[in-house]
Amino acid sequence: MSAYDVQSGDKVHKGDPVIVERYTAPARANHWVTAICLVLLALSGLSLFHPSLFFLTGLFGGGQLTRTIHPWIGIVLFFSFSGLFVRFWKANLWRSVDSVWLSRVREVMLGHDENLPDVGKYNAGQKLMFWFMSALIVLLIITGLIIWDQYFYAYTTIPTKRLAVLLHALGAIGIICVWIAHVYAAIWVRGTMGAMTSGKVTGGWAWRHHRKWLRELVGRPQ
C-alpha cells in the first residue's frame, strides 16, 4: 500500500482498547470551520434563492446584510477547504481497490463488511465525496466572483452573468446534496462523528472500516 494513506498525525496507542489517532487538532478545526461555512452559505443562499425562503435572511440581520456577507463567507469557505484539500488530497487518490469497493456498494448498504475489500484511510464513497466537493467549491467560487457585482460588475458581460447565476444555483444544489450524504454517512457509521470531534477511533473501528490503513500504520516505525 502506498505511504500516502498514512499521515504524519496518525498514531496507534497500545492498550485495552487500542486507540488510533485519525485526525489532528488542526485538521479537525479546519474541518469544522469548513462545515460551519457550508451551513451558513446554504442558509443565506437559500434565503436569496426564492421569495418563500426570504424569511431565512432574519438569521443574518435582513436581506441587505445577507447579500453582503454571503460572498464573504464563500471566500472563507474557499480558503478553509483549500486547507483540507492540501491535507487530504493524496489519501483520496483513486486506486484499483476503490473500484472493487464501489462495485460491492450493495454489501455496504446491507452492512456485510466481511465481503468488502480492505481499504486505506478513505473508502471509495468518501473519496467520491471529497472530489465532488472539491469540484463544486471551485465551480461556486468562480461563478460567485462573476456575479459579485459590487467588485466585478465591469469585468463580465450580462450573458456571462446569467450563465454564472444558473451554474451557481446548480452547484449550490449539488453541494447541499453532497453535504447531506456526508452527514448521513457520518451518523450511519458509528464512531465516525467521534473521529472528527476527538480525533480518535478504536482499533476495532479502524480494523473493521479501514484495515489497510491500520496495517500500514502499525507497521510504520513509531
What is the per-residue pLDDT across 16-46, written as a single tens digit (0 to 9) for each?
Answer: 889 999 999 999 999 999 999 999 999 999 9
Q: Can you tell me the mean pLDDT for 83-111? A: 92
What confidence category does residue 191 fall into, taking pLDDT thresholds of 50, 70 and 90? confident
Looking at residue 91, the DSSP 8-state letter turns out to be G
Q: Report the distance separating Cα 105 and Cα 42, nearest Å.
A: 29
What confidence category does residue 195 fall into, taking pLDDT thresholds of 50, 70 and 90? very high
Confidence (pLDDT) at 3: 55
Range list of H helices, the chain: 25-49, 63-88, 96-103, 105-110, 124-146, 149-152, 158-188, 192-197, 203-209, 211-219
What confidence category does residue 1 fall into, taking pLDDT thresholds of 50, 70 and 90? very low
| CB contact set of 29 (below 8 Å; sequence gap of 6+) | none
Q: Which amino acid is at 43?
A: L
Confidence (pLDDT) at 111: 80
pTM: 0.91
Which of the two residues, 6 and 149, has the higher pLDDT score?
Answer: 149
Q: Report the distance separating Cα 215 and Cα 125, nearest Å.
A: 21
CB 123 within 8 A of CB 101: yes
User: 485538521: which residue's cell?
Assistant: 27
Peptide bond into 159 cis (omega under 30): no
Confidence (pLDDT) at 128: 97
Q: Can you tell me the mean pLDDT for 144-166? A: 94
User: 473501528: which residue's cell?
Assistant: 205
Domains along the chain with CATH numbers: 11-219 (1.20.950.20)
CA-derived radius of gyration, the chain: 20
Q: Report the distance separating Cα 69 and Cα 11, nearest Å.
A: 40
Mean pLDDT of the chain: 92
Confidence (pLDDT) at 113: 82
Residue 221 clears pLDDT 80, i.e. is over it:
no
Catalytic residue among 31, 168, 182, 210: 182
Does the active-site annotation cover 209?
no
Query: 19 - beta bridge partners?
Result: 13, 202
Q: Output the nine-digit C-alpha cell for 204.
A: 476495532
Q: Can you tell me the mean pLDDT for 55-71? A: 95
